[in-house]
A and B are shown apart, each in its own frame.
Chain A
């Protein structure tokens, strides 16, 4: 079974631009979550989608948004990029929403904002 895939793997953007990252979950997985990883803040939860609906959101500004499609694939969008948005963005999928189900992570998208 294929793992979680994320595209692109690397991205360089300029301040003020916007960016869209894509995530394809493991086949059959319905929950998709996004995390931001930085050296200073560590791993922080962005949001979770299930059945095309955002179910939970972390403490990030409204510039960060996402969506989920009917095939469970998900995208996240960051508008008006800031230097501090430079990070590794990780997508994780899970069979269902219950906390007993582990999340499987993709390799991440490395975003650099200049």
Chain B
């Protein structure tokens, strides 16, 4: 069985400071991991994905995430926050070889202060 825990429901940063959104996962098999972002009244947009290649994954809009198997973590980072980054972020796991099903974390609401 697969599961995802997003450790913070809300994160608040000042514009221009680093962003860290934390995610731990549990998976019986080799997982694929994703980060999605959802702006208000919008659908989900893929930020980046990990599928057993490089452990440091670069995504869109300056975001990146590092897969750490020993810590079962997949934290999302960005060196410098922008006002447009304010949104809800979801960490997602999908097990390679299993039926096609995404398991979502509960989400982290990112607020960017001017």
Contacts and interface: CB of A to CB of B under 8 A. Distances in A.
Contact of A42 (B49, B51, B106): B106
Contacts of A103: 46, 102
Nearest to A42: B106
Contacts of A74: none
B102 to A, nearest CB: 6
Interface in A25-52: 31, 33, 35, 42-45, 48, 50
B107 A99 contact: no
List the 10 shortest-distance A-B pairs measured between CB atoms, nearest first: A43-B104, A99-B94, A56-B99, A105-B44, A100-B51, A105-B43, A107-B43, A99-B32, A97-B100, A99-B96
Interface residues of B, number: 26
Contacts of A64: none
A30 B71 CA distance: 35
A102 B60 CA distance: 14
Given A105-B44, A108-B43, A43 B101 contact: no
Interface residues of A, number: 27
A30 to B, nearest CB: 11
Interface of A: 4, 31, 33, 35, 42-45, 48, 50, 55-56, 58, 90, 92, 94, 97-100, 102-108
A104 B92 CA distance: 13
B95 interface: yes
B67 interface: no
B90 A99 contact: no
A43 B34 CA distance: 14
Contacts of A4: 43
Given A104-B46, A105-B45, A43 B90 contact: yes
Nearest to B33: A99
